[in-house]
Chain A
Amino acid sequence: MILPIRNFSEKNLSFQSKPNKGEEANVAYDKDTLLENTFANRTRIGLDKLTKAFTIYPAKGLKGSKNSNFYEFLTMGNVPYIIGSVTLMSIFNSVNSDFFPDAKSKASKLGNKMAMGVILYCVFKELAKSFITLPVKWKTGIDTELPYAKVNYLLQESPDDYNLTSIEYHKVGESVDFPRWDQLYGDPKKGEKLNFRYDKIAEKNGLGKDLNDSDQEVKPMYKEVLVKSKLAKSFTSFMWAATGVALAFQKPWENYFNVATLKFWKPKEFGHSLKVLGKSFVDSIKELYKGSPDSFSKLERHSGKALIGASVLVTLLGILNTLHITKKPSNVKGSDVMDKNKESVVS
């Protein structure tokens, strides 16, 4: 039911941020805008979402704002992820300093590996997504992570609310049910061809050049790639995250923990620490693959290999399944469907 706006104030109400005196309106986006998938953009979006997840969104949520939405709820999912990681590290490390040397040494060994496990879990999980995204983009031309800025129009919650827009960062293929096809069209006002993005994808996938309606040809295929790549990412990212944790539990890391320092103002120590970090990383990978020299059971010796193998296998299967596109339109020309020279009867 649409309720009447009781506090309507024509003077104050606008769907843009209020310009300061003597300043032109300076709005980042005045409509939903496709963004380039660059490192700079990804970083900017990531920082924006992270900041808001810890500040504006919880504040709105705790107030019970009628403008809080599912995007904000999902973005706030970063909060438990980050706090949980820190808490998990803290559980295994923060009280160890109070222990006596023998217990401290044992507890810290485990604690440090646990902390490294949390870090490598996150790093490997994020990295693993690109194991799918990059080959898929390279082979099909479809960027499954293409971002766009969404301008959101808000409801006025009090007469003083005059900035009634908010910017959200989504991805074109975020929803496979409703991909934002509109964002992929070019803007003829800017001299872009309407279907130029679809044309590129069509050409890359062998559907031909100068198609009349490349968008219609590409969309089913694009959607298939989205679904399959999402499936692949779900399993690949967590399998590699598991590999990251397993890597963190290798003995060579102890060499690094003994010299680890973040005191970058002491270049000699910091440099040495980084050098040992690199060596420990490489040695840990070797040990994960070959098994610890102390291991006495076959299972223990080969479990690392099995885990790496499983992760590689899941990644390969994910990529192959995504690249195996079944919804490509047929290349058969209309003229080839029916041989006009042959007699045929149509009932």
Chain B
Amino acid sequence: MRTNLIQSYVNGTPIAQQYNSDKAVKDFDVHKELANRTFIKPLPSNGKLLKPSLFDMPSVVANDLIYDWNAFRHAVKGEANDHELGRLNDVGMKVGGLAIASYLFTKKQTPMTKAFEFIGLASFFGAMDLWPKLFLQLPAYLVHGFNIRQKYEDNYGRKKLVFQDHQFIPWDLYSDKEINKIGDRLRVPKDIPNRREFIQEKMRKIALQNNTMWMLTAGFATPIMSALICNALEKPVASYLDRKNNEKAERLLTNFPQEISKFDFSKEEAALKTFLAENEGKSITPELVDNIHAHLSDGIDYVTATGIRKDLDDLLPVGKYRFSNETLNAVRDVLKESFAGVQLTEEELAKILPDNNAMLRAFTDNGLMRSEAKEFSEHSKLVQNLVFDNIERFVEENPGNPNARRLRFIMNQMVHSNVHGEDSKLVKAFKFEPVSVLTKELSENLGNISKILNDFKAKNLVLDRYAYIKVAQAPETILANSWNEISESLLKVMNFTPEEIRQARYDREIAGEVLRNKLEGITADKASYSKFVTEMEKLLSTLQSKAAALDVSSDESSLYSSLVNKSTFDESAKALRNAHMENTAESLVGYGFTSRTSLKDVQLSFVADRLKGVKSSFYRILNMADMYYKIAHVEGLDSVLTNTMPREVKEEVVELAKETLLEGHTSDFAVKFYQKRNPNPDKFDCSQIESVAGKVKNKYFGTHQSSELMELSNDSGFFESVMKLMYENNLHPDTYEKIKSSVILEDFMNYRKNVLDFLGCDSYYPKPAHLVNGKVVDSSSELKFLLMGCSPDEMFLKLFRQKSNSNKWFKTFGRLGAGLIGVTLLSQFFIGHMKKPQPSKEVK
């Protein structure tokens, strides 16, 4: 500890007397000096201003952590000081924040939402720190020339803000040179008295005003800034997580053997083994088969589990029972149990219950006597009749017996019980001694089957996980991310104004109209269209590349396809067939490996269908843009809008095609479209349509009252023309030029052809002739639904709503934030004003 000279002096100088330094100045008389009170002043400070560079940050952080740890140790012992306790309060706040983020992390389901719990926390603390640095400290430095949040380290290594307490500012840490430099920057005249004091006062004032501004603005700024930081980080984080997720999914397949080995079924296998060992040599009962089935089908889907049950029923025949004295004893036990509630003596009971011989005789008389039997309802009835007769006889012989009524009641209850047939106790008693037994060979075979099924389950779980990450209908899958990315980019590339977005959010009618106007505007201008198609091609190519790993068109088309087909389903099915589990194998791969209703097909088509639905939605927009472009420039339409087609019909075809691509659903195709048309168009005007600014300049369409129009269900060519205009007609050369070398070309052209075939050639009984090229093609509702995808007006309605919501938020809080920044920055020019003292006049 340093010697405190003042303390020594005040306390009567005993310590000072011991003061004897080798470094003392020659002739320095400490007593004389201490006696001179005006000389007394504090020892020079060991404190220093802190000016760490960016490179010092790691060591600063490390030192702060060490300081906090020591502060904690001191506080636990009750020896910490105010500064240490203040630091620990900040640590507590951060620990609490981490606790909140960690708890909410566990409540969230997806990586993105989980990550944002911590990003939100970090951004909040970051904003708390950044706001004063960026919007007070920096501008103040630029305007006034000094750091209002300058930190210093005192004698004890405590870091504090210089201007934290305005009545105790450690001015001695600033040299005269530094203060004068700041004074020059503050334009303080050089020739004033007490210049340093004046500069210090000005600095104090500026710092105080800034600190006050900090307190007044931080409450608004921190949450808003934090929200904006999170918003800005959303895309990069999403993109990073998408990449990581994709890599994770790919690793599942590339390391397939290692991944499946992570699933450990040894416990389940051991449990089955123990169970089989316990029951080895015992009769095969339905309960035993139920138990074995429960072991084998745990975690298996219902269809396959049913297949397993069928196979087990064949492997473990149940149903035939031996007929022996033990069986009859069991039957008698059940009967005894039934009459347990009646107070009967042994003799009386013997009269009522038929003995084994009586029963055997009765079975023989009625032709029911066999050494083995499968079904016992007749036996049960016969026994009941015997008992009934015995009771009647007993009652006749003992008319005064108090149990008579009770016996009859129990008998009636037994006969009329609602548990009949195989479930009745009596019938179960007959099934006392099954014929078949669980042999060692059977046990071994079942153990082998369990291994095959567990291997299959492990493989299937890995494949399921892969399919889930890639294409599941859930947030943050690779496909969902692609959907969001493409649809948001479309909104951006189509350049909707905030006003259009605000208007379009109300319903799909308005959204469709806004979208149509925008698309007509884009297609009217060749440059805009070129940019639009280029962007779409880029987005769809990315999707196509991502989807390549999911191609399931053939066994070898992708790693996923190969692993599903060969390594998992076919291999397991083969092994199961060798183990005589034919039904189970069939439910996995279908009859002869070809059925479309197998579990394998579900595994493959789940992925293929999800992809098809998403791709169709975007291909539909590209196709729509191409058709709108052709119409806007009246190019490439002649094969459909021929010179023999009346102009009015052409206008009707074009309008319907435009509307159908924009908002059509599969039902519109199924009914072969419905449009009210003019039944008497001008047949002599077969001129081509005209377009202005992307819109058709209708000469006839829309000129008739609705009451004059009707649906012409006999015009079988109308549907075909509309379909061909939408899907059969060649792409416009400008569109083709942009995608001709793209990876999507073939897929896109196939899509157009499939829609034309499957939606255009669907037979509709009220309009049987309304077919494209006269063909009838069978298809499923599911396929038609997937080919249609999402209608653009509905897709954009959702996007408009989302965008409108974010716009509204940004408008409100962006303005508030901008206003706050403006006020805070401008305030620098209004603070620190002081009346300048007059320069000192030279005294003559």
Contact = CB atoms under 8 A, between A and B. Distances in A.
Nearest to B163: A73
B211 A73 contact: yes
A77 B505 CA distance: 42
Interface stretch (B24-32, B34-42, B96-104, B773-781): B96-104
Contact of B166 (A68, A107, A321, A327): A68
Interface stretch (A12-20, A197-205, A226-234): A226-234
B801 interface: yes
B81 interface: yes
B215 interface: yes
Given A95-B812, A227-B80, A238 B219 contact: no
Contact of B805 (A103, A224, A299, A307): A103
B482 interface: no
Contacts of A239: 92, 95-96, 99
A326 B89 CA distance: 23
A234 B89 contact: yes
A175 B166 CA distance: 18
Nearest to A302: B106
Contacts of B100: 242, 245-246
Nearest to B96: A238
B79 A227 contact: yes
A99 B224 CA distance: 20
Given A83-B220, A87-B219, A227-B80, A62 B104 contact: no
A234 B832 contact: no
Contacts of A228: 75-76, 78
B209 A326 contact: no
Contacts, number: 179
A119 interface: no
B275 to A, nearest CB: 28
Contacts of A81: 219
Nearest to B85: A230
A63 B95 CA distance: 37
A175 B220 CA distance: 30
B448 interface: no
B218 A177 contact: no
A235 interface: yes
Contacts of A27: none
B45 interface: no
Contacts of A132: none
Given A61-B208, A234-B85, A303 B107 contact: yes
A218 interface: no
B205 to A, nearest CB: 4
B82 A177 contact: yes
A88 interface: yes
Interface in A219-257: 223-225, 227-228, 230-231, 234-235, 237-239, 241-243, 245-246, 249
Nearest to A86: B219
Contacts of A83: 218-220
Contacts of B92: 234-235, 237-239
Interface in A281-324: 292, 295, 297, 299-300, 303-304, 307, 310, 321
A116 to B, nearest CB: 13
Interface string B802-830: 10010011001100000000000000000
A58 B212 CA distance: 6
A227 B78 contact: yes
Most buried by B among A95, A175, A249: A95
B95 A227 contact: no
Given A91-B813, A95-B809, A228-B78, A69 B103 contact: no
A127 interface: no
Contacts of A99: 801, 805, 808
B213 interface: yes
A242 B219 contact: no
A332 interface: no
B223 interface: yes
Contacts of A1: 197
Interface in B547-571: none
B103 A177 contact: no
Contacts of A105: none
Contacts of B213: 62
A259 interface: no
Interface in A44-60: 57-58
Contacts of A295: 107
Contacts of B218: 79-80, 83-84
A238 B85 CA distance: 15
A115 interface: no
B369 interface: no
Nearest to B89: A234
B439 to A, nearest CB: 42
A176 interface: yes
A57 B75 CA distance: 32
Given A84-B223, A310-B99, A227 B215 contact: no
Contact of A303 (B79, B88, B106): B106
A64 interface: yes
A46 B215 CA distance: 18
A76 interface: yes
A95 B808 contact: yes
B505 A100 contact: yes
A314 B206 CA distance: 42
A61 B223 contact: no
A70 interface: yes
A168 to B, nearest CB: 12
Given A61-B212, A79-B215, A304-B103, A231 B223 contact: no
Interface in B81-140: 81-82, 85, 88-89, 91-93, 95-97, 99-100, 102-104, 106-107
Most buried by B among A85, A88, A224: A88
Contacts of B623: none
Interface in B147-178: 164-168
B222 interface: yes
B786 to A, nearest CB: 25
Interface in B744-764: none
A302 B76 CA distance: 30
B208 A234 contact: no
Given A84-B223, A224-B78, A300-B106, A70 B165 contact: yes
Contacts of A66: 166, 201, 204
A125 B212 CA distance: 25
A327 B78 contact: yes
B223 A87 contact: yes
B813 A58 contact: no
B41 to A, nearest CB: 12
Interface string B176-211: 000000000000000000000100010011101101
B579 interface: no
29 contacts: A58-B215, A58-B216, A61-B212, A62-B209, A64-B205, A64-B208, A64-B832, A68-B212, A69-B166, A70-B164, A70-B167, A70-B168, A73-B164, A73-B166, A77-B215, A79-B216, A84-B218, A84-B222, A88-B223, A224-B78, A227-B79, A227-B80, A230-B75, A231-B80, A234-B88, A238-B92, A238-B99, A245-B104, A249-B103
6 closest cross-chain pairs (CB), A and B: A83-B219, A238-B96, A61-B212, A224-B78, A64-B205, A234-B92
Given A61-B215, A73-B165, A94-B812, 13 more contacts: A62-B831, A63-B209, A69-B167, A79-B218, A80-B219, A84-B220, A87-B219, A103-B802, A176-B80, A177-B82, A224-B79, A238-B97, A292-B107
Interface of A: 1, 3, 57-58, 61-66, 68-70, 73, 76-77, 79-88, 91, 94-95, 98-100, 103, 107, 175-177, 223-225, 227-228, 230-231, 234-235, 237-239, 241-243, 245-246, 249, 292, 295, 297, 299-300, 303-304, 307, 310, 321, 325-327
